[in-house]
Amino acid sequence: MSDIIKEIFARNLRYFMEKTNTSQADICQALGVSSATASDWCNGKKYPRTDKLHQLADLLGVRFSALTAEDGQEVFDDQRRLEALHQNPRLGLLFDRQAKMSSEDVDLMIQMVDRILRERDRDE
């Protein structure tokens, strides 16, 4: 197994552990591995077997490819966006309408949303 592949996996694993507040101890308990093994995965020293990769993906709530791909964090962000669209069809309306807008119009909409969020945060 190449060192680059191990490094990519380790980087993605640490990222998703942080995002989900999952500790190495949580991984050890859920997957039945030693603390040394979990540490080696997080530090890019070892690469898990395929069955453990699938278990890690399930534990972290991500696709297998999010752990193994060089752009794994982007895969996760895309998955999160798709889930948000599925859970809230009104977001789909925004997405559909933006397809008819110019790049400048989209930039203006982003600025408007940012302004609304800043004002809301200020009022809270």
pTM: 0.62
Exposed/middle/buried for 11, CB within 10 Å: 0-12, 13-18, 19+? middle
44 Cβ partners below 8 Å, 6+ apart?
3, 6, 7, 9, 10, 11
pLDDT of residue 61: 87
pLDDT of residue 123: 80
- Closest residue by Cα to residue 44 from 88, 104, 3, 103: 3
Number of other residues whose CB lies within 10 A of the CB of residue 31: 17
The pLDDT tens digits along the chain (124 residues) read 688 889 999 999 999 999 899 999 999 999 999 999 999 999 999 999 999 999 999 999 888 888 888 876 666 666 667 777 778 878 778 878 888 888 898 889 889 888 998 988 888 7
The amino acid that residue 89 corresponds to is P
The two most distant CA atoms of the chain are separated, in Å, by: 54
pLDDT of residue 87: 81
